[in-house]
A and B are shown apart, each in its own frame.
Chain A
Amino acid sequence: MSTSTNKQSLKGMLWTWAALTVIGVIIGLYAPAWIMPKSMSNNMHLTILTMVVFTVAAAPVAAGVYATALFALTRWTHKGNDVPSAGPAVRENAMVVTTWLVVSTLLTVFLLIWGLGALAVDNGSTGKNPLVVDVTGQQWVWSFSYPGTHVSSPDLYLPLNREVEFRVTALDVTHGFWIANMGVQVDANVGTITTIHTTPDKLGTFDIRCTQFCGLNHAFMVTEGHVLTAQQFTSWLASQPQRA
């Protein structure tokens, strides 16, 4: 292949890469919020933002792979039975190798820092009078109790804009406590209490599912949660039968 043909191919590939990158960035900006469950908490906002940032950051890399694959399949093919002569090895091109290393290192370090930061924020507590909810998983029902109130319920009720501290455990096998709309997901382990926080910031109803295959009726281990105003929540608590 002549030098001018190579340059033409490279130019075409760069344009293809740029076009695919734009498509990837657009997908990254809009798809996560469209595909993922409706956000009802600060954790879920952060989860969706993280998906957006990661997808946008990955778009040029993915575009590079697709552009290269596309050109390799359509342009850089060899016809005939003779063995083609090898071109110059990429590993000997200092600019390509340096760019590759620097860009991928920067990208990886950025993702690592973002991920660790998001994880710290996600798991952190504001310490501002959280509502404690004890969550118990057993085959195949979730139950929720509110320490200090003698109230327990098969459905979860939460007040709006107040931090919630879930203390999650299981009685038989490992279950997975997952509120998709709140970006909350943690294993419920036998004999262990795992704590996770969130702050609901939208009124409405959500599903709570089990994410660990836990036996015969795992698929039916789904229950309903509700975010109420503070006043509605207080009324709901007062209306519940008090356990001894």
Chain B
Amino acid sequence: MNRSKSLGVALASVLLGGGALALAGFALASATPHQAALNCVPSQSAPNTCNLNLSTFPDSMAGEQGKDGGVHPDWVSYSNDNLVVPANTTVNVTIDQYDSGGSLNNAFFDQVMGTVGGTATIDGKTVSSVDPTNVGHTFTLRGIPGSGKTMFVSVPLPADSNTQSVNIGQGQYTKPVVVQFSFKTGAKGVYEWNCEFPCGSTREGQFGEAMSAYGYMSGTLTVN
């Protein structure tokens, strides 16, 4: 093989290899592990306002994981991980919290932050913080600084200590704690949210499993 031919083969190999890597990257990036979108429902009574209803469960039997709770029926879960809301809108969120709880590992998250008025209502009572030793989960949402998508909302969801039973889907739970709050959306973009109460397992700090997988205690909020 002469020199120019060798050079051509080497160059083609590098280009082909690079192309294959780029294709694999694009395929991985576009593969979404998220559930079907849960769209914020426009309010009939207030302009530029919509309502979003979520739940948190001690397992995955009643959410979007499918029949029999999906792959990990025993993992704690939010009812949906793929939230879609309009830009520049007030989002009224209602979360039915069906899970028990314990102490936060960081009392910082006992505060209600980034909501309208800096408060939330828990079973109808307005609060700006909760007991850090009695938290079930948190709903903590953030944007990406420098991208024009700054947003930080964090609301603690107290542990459910009710005893009255209710059935939802294939799961049996106790009557939930109802947490309500509102926040305003800004620029379009994809934001990330997750729970900051250590409710996973296997890894240090109990942030493994359900805490580290979309579809359980983490998800996205798409503002469009």
Contacts and interface: CB of A to CB of B under 8 A. Distances in A.
A116 interface: no
Interface string B204-221: 111100011110001000
A205 B212 CA distance: 30
Interface in A154-186: 154-155, 171-173
Nearest to A221: B142
A207 B212 contact: no
Given A141-B196, A152-B108, A243-B111, A222 B207 contact: no
Contacts, number: 77
A190 B205 CA distance: 9
Interface stretch (B38-46, B47-55, B143-151): B143-151
B194 A217 contact: yes
A217 B108 contact: no
Contacts of A208: 145
Contacts of B205: 138-139, 171-173, 190
A216 B212 contact: yes
A79 to B, nearest CB: 12
B154 A154 contact: yes
A143 B129 CA distance: 16
Contacts of A215: 207, 212
Interface residues of B, number: 32
A216 B207 CA distance: 10
Contact of A172 (B118, B140, B203): B203
Contacts of A87: none
A interface residue count range (under 10 / 10 to 19 / 20 to 34 / 35 or more): 20 to 34
Interface string B183-199: 00000000010101010
Interface in B2-52: none
A241 B128 contact: yes
Given A138-B106, A141-B196, A241-B111, A220 B144 contact: yes
Contact of A136 (B106, B113, B144, B204): B106
A212 interface: no
Interface of A: 136, 138-141, 143, 145, 152, 154-155, 171-173, 190, 205, 207-208, 215-217, 220, 222-224, 241, 243
Given A143-B106, A216-B194, A241-B128, 6 more contacts: A140-B192, A145-B108, A173-B205, A205-B145, A216-B213, A216-B214
Please provide the 10 A-B residue pairs with the shortest distance between their CB atoms, ordered closest to farther: A172-B205, A224-B145, A143-B108, A220-B192, A172-B207, A216-B212, A139-B207, A154-B152, A171-B105, A207-B145
